Structure formats: structure tokens, C-alpha cells
Amino acid sequence: MSDHPLITAIQPILDAVGACVIDADEADISDIPLVWDGTTVAAVRPPPLHGALDRLIDGVETELGAPLTKLSREDKQRAVRLLDQRGAFILRRAVEDVADAMGVSRITVYNYLNAIHR
């Protein structure tokens, strides 16, 4: 299964979002089938929603090269933009959790978001 060209092509994306590939015969209704020439070769199991914000924050920290608390103001604004683009703020309590992770107030995060959406 893992040497199929479709799986090889999308594996970096799956790794980035925390999803995994499973055998087609193990797929549940909530899994995403990977179809190649009309045949389901595998399925993608999305990561659980629990911990999604932590994974998004970890990804942004990796991308920016430092923990959110160590970033400059400009990089914190960039981090909020990246998190917003990745859908982090649709999660309940995300603003508060991101503010805690950055070492700033939630008002600061709201101000960054307002600046992005102007």
C-alpha cells in the first residue's frame, strides 16, 4: 500500500495535517477514500479534533522556527495570520488558548485578527 504513487504523492500533506493512511478494507464512513483509476487503493483517516489546535500551533512554531512566546510582535502577527488561514479560530476557546501560547492577552490576539480582516 505505501508504495502506491498516490499515497507517495500526498504523504507530505498527510504528515503536515496529522492524518494517516489506512488500508481500504479498514476504512470507516468518516475516512476519505483514495481512488486511483476507479479503484480505492487506501483511505485517509483525519486526525481527531481533540488536540487539533495544539497541532496547528506546533506547525506554526516549526514554520516560524521558534515557540510562539519567543516570537517578535511582527512574527506573532504572522503566526495569528497562519493560524487563521488554517482554520484555528473556528475551534472553541482558540483565541484564549493561542493568547496563552503566545504569552499575550486575548485582546491582543483579537486585535491581530481585526488587523488581518480589515
Under-70 pLDDT residues of the chain: 1-2
What angle do helix axes 73-85 and 52-64 make, rounded to 10 degrees? 130
Q: What is the pLDDT of residue 16?
A: 77
Q: What is the pLDDT of residue 107?
A: 97
DSSP assigned state of 27:
-
Q: What is the pLDDT of residue 101?
A: 96
Q: b vs e for 9-21, b when ≥16 Cβ sit within 10 Å of the residue's Cβ?
A: eeeeebeeebbeb
Q: What is the pLDDT of residue 3?
A: 81
Q: What is the pLDDT of residue 1?
A: 54
Structural domain spans, the chain: 5-45, 52-117
Q: What is the pLDDT of residue 2?
A: 60
| pLDDT tens for each residue of 99-116 | 999 999 999 999 999 999
Which among 100, 98, 111, 115 is positioned nearest to 59, based on CA atoms? Answer: 98
